[in-house]
Amino acid sequence: DRILEIRKQSYNPMTLKATYYKQPVYIHQGYMQWLWDTDGRRYLDFFAGVATVSVGHCHPKVTEAAEKQLRSLWHTTNIYMSSPPHEYVEKLAACFPDPLKVIYFTNSGSEANDLAMLMARLHTGNYDIISFRGAYHGGSPQTLGLTSYSAYKFPIANGFGCHNTMCPDVFKGPWGGKNCRDSPVQTVRDCNCAPGCCHANDMYIEELKEVLSSSVPCRIAAFFGEPLQGVGGAVQYPRNYLKEAYRLIRQSGGLCIADEVQTGFGRTGSDFWGFQGHGVIPDIVTMAKGIANGYPMGAVVTTKEIAESFAKGLHFNTFGGSPLACAIASSVLDTIKEDGTQQISATIGTYLLTELAKLRDKYEIIGDVRGKGLLIGVEMVKDKESRRPLPAETLSQIFEDIKDMGILVGRGGTFGQVFRIKPPMCITKEDADFFLAVFSHVIQKYAELT
Ligand code: PMP
C-alpha cells in the first residue's frame, strides 16, 4: 500500500518503476546475501543490485572501513592529493596487466564509458564508435548511443556518432529465427549446428567487416564490448570472436574498449576481468558496480600513451575518486581476496550452471542456460522449437512466484525473457540449492500449464 501511495505522488518520476508489480518489495535492510523488507520478510538476493553488491550487503569489513573514513575525510575534489585515492590507485593498477596502468575515477558506469569514448576520440582523432546489439553501456546522452536496448533508447541517441550496427535488424521480425542470422541471441549454440561450430563466429566477423568497410575508412574511434553481456541476458560471444574483432578494429585505426562494469572484480569466476577469458588486452577498460560494493563509483584504466593524448584535454570530476569512495573500494579489493569471492564465483557459478542445464534439458520452457561464474542467464521460451519468448504475463508470474518464495532475481534480454542470476559473491552451496529448489518448483508449475 505504501508503495502504491508513493507511486501516486507527483514527485515520483514516471520512469521510476518497481520491478514487482503484483506486490512490490520495499527493502529495509541488507546483510551479506540477504535482504529484508519492511514487513520483516527475508529474501535471498540473487541479483545484488545488478551485480553491484560484490562482497555482500553491509559487509562488516567494508562497513568498518567506510565508518573509519567517514570520521576523517569524505571529500576534497581531485585538485588535492589524499591518501585513500593515492593508495587505492596503486592497488587497482596492480590488478591489470601491462600496459593498462593509468586510472581515472568517476561516479558511475555511464560516466566511465563517456570518459572512455572521449579518450578514444581524442587519441585516434576519429569519431565513430561501434557497439553490439543487446549491449548496455549506460543511460547518459552519450552512452545511450551505445546502448542498443529499445526500451532505453530514444531516437535522438543515434545522433551521437555511435553505431549499434553490428546486427542492424535485431529488433525487426519475430524472435524465433532458425539460423543464427535471424536470432538476436549471439551464442555459439544459436546457429543450431553441432556444439563448437564456428558458423556463428564467421558470420559475426563478416558483419563486423561490413560495418567497418561501410564507414569512411579510418573513422573508427573505438569498439565497445562487454566481455559477457549483462543486461542483454548473459550473452556470450562465439569462441575467438573478440580476438579477431580486436584485430580488425585495430587494423582500422580504432581502440578496443572492454566494459567491465558487470563482469569485473571476479564476477566471471575464472578471471578477475572478463577480457582475460577472451585472450585479449583492451586499450581501455571501464568499471563500476562491484568496484565499491554498491557505493557509487566508477573508473577507467588505460595505457600511458592514450593518457598522454588525453592530457591535452580535461578531466575533472568533482566527486569521482573521493577519499570515501576510495577507502570503500580499497576495502572491497581486500575483501575480495580475503573472502575468496572470485573462487566462490567460479565454483558456485559452475555448480549453478550445471544444475540449471539439467533443468533446461528437462523443461521445454527453459530455452537456454548460459553465462560464466556468477553472471548467469536463464532464457525462457514458449518451446525449444520456436524459441519465442514466453508470454510477458507468464514471465512476470514466474518472476513474482520466485520472489514470493523468498528469492530475488533479475530480468533481462530484449523481451525480459532472461532471468538474470548475479548474487553477491558470498553465497554458499546451500543458497544455490535453495535457489535451484525454488526455481524448479516454480518452473514445474508453469511447464505443466503451457
Ligand atoms: N555498462 C554496463 C555493462 C552496465 O551493465 C551498466 C549498468 N547496468 C552501465 C554500463 C551503466 O552503469 P551506471 O548505471 O552505473 O551508469
How far is ligand 1, taken at its centre, from the CA of residue 445, in Å?
34
How far is ligand 1, taken at its centre, from the CA of residue 115, in Å?
13
What is the ipTM for the molecules in this complex?
Answer: 0.99
How far is ligand 1, taken at its centre, from the CA of residue 301, in Å?
16
| Selected residue with higher pLDDT from 105 and 214 | 105
Residue with cell 556518432: 161
The number of the ligand 1 atom at minimal distance from the alpha carbon of 110 is 16
Domain with CATH 3.90.1150.10 in the chain: 2-55+340-449
CB 187 within 8 A of CB 236: yes
Residue with cell 538476493: 45
Please state whether 192 falls in left (phi above 0), alpha (psi between -120 and 50) or beta. left
Q: What is the CATH number of domain 64-338?
A: 3.40.640.10
Q: How far is CA 68 from the centre of its chain?
A: 30
How far is ligand 1, taken at its centre, from the CA of residue 137, in Å?
5
How far is ligand 1, taken at its centre, from the CA of residue 441, in Å?
32
Burial of 390 (0-12, 13-18, 19+ CB in 10 A): buried
Helix (H, G, I), strand (E, B) or coil at 295: coil
How far is ligand 1, taken at its centre, from the CA of residue 199, in Å?
30
What nine digits make up the cell of 170? 535485431
Q: How far apart are CA 78 and CA 428, in angstroms?
A: 40
Query: Which residue, among 226, 235, 222, has the nearest Cα to 259 in the 3D structure?
Result: 226
pLDDT tens for 113-133 read 999 999 999 999 988 888 877
* Angle, helices 241-251/199-214, rounded to nearest 10 degrees: 20
E-assigned strand segments in 149-307: 162-163, 220-225, 255-259, 284-287, 298-302
Q: What is the DSSP letter of 258?
A: E
With the most atoms of ligand 1 within 8 angstroms of its CB, the residue from 105, 113, 136 to mutate is: 136
CB 263 within 8 A of CB 274: yes
pLDDT tens for 380-403 read 998 887 778 899 999 999 999 999
With the most atoms of ligand 1 within 8 angstroms of its CB, the residue from 52, 110, 142 to mutate is: 110
How far is ligand 1, taken at its centre, from the CA of residue 371, in Å?
18
Residues in contact with ligand 1 by the CB-under-6-Å rule are 50, 108-110, 113, 136-138, 226, 230-231, 259, 261-262, 288
The number of the ligand 1 atom at minimal distance from the alpha carbon of 140 is 16
CB 286 within 8 A of CB 104: no
Taking residues 78-96, report their average pLDDT.
94
The number of the ligand 1 atom at minimal distance from the alpha carbon of 263 is 3
Question: 401: number of CA atoms within 13 Å, CB side?
Answer: 17
DSSP codes of every residue in 111-129? HHHHHHHHHHHHHHS--EE
pLDDT tens for 144-160 read 777 766 444 444 444 34
Helix (H, G, I), strand (E, B) or coil at 266: coil
Sign (positive/negative) of CA torsion 90, 95, 97, 100?
negative
pLDDT at site 46? 98
Q: What is the mean pLDDT of the chain?
A: 84
How far is ligand 1, taken at its centre, from the CA of residue 262, in Å?
7
With the most atoms of ligand 1 within 8 angstroms of its CB, the residue from 47, 50, 137 to mutate is: 137
pLDDT grade, residue 139 (50/70/90)?
A: confident
The answer to which of 54-63, 288-297, 348-357, 364-373 has the lowest mean pLDDT is: 364-373
Nearest CA to ligand 1 atom 10: 137
Q: Which class is 2-55+340-449 in CATH?
A: alpha beta
Query: Which residue, among 225, 228, 328, 224, has the nearest Cα to 270 in the 3D structure?
Result: 228
Strands 298-302 and 284-287: antiparallel
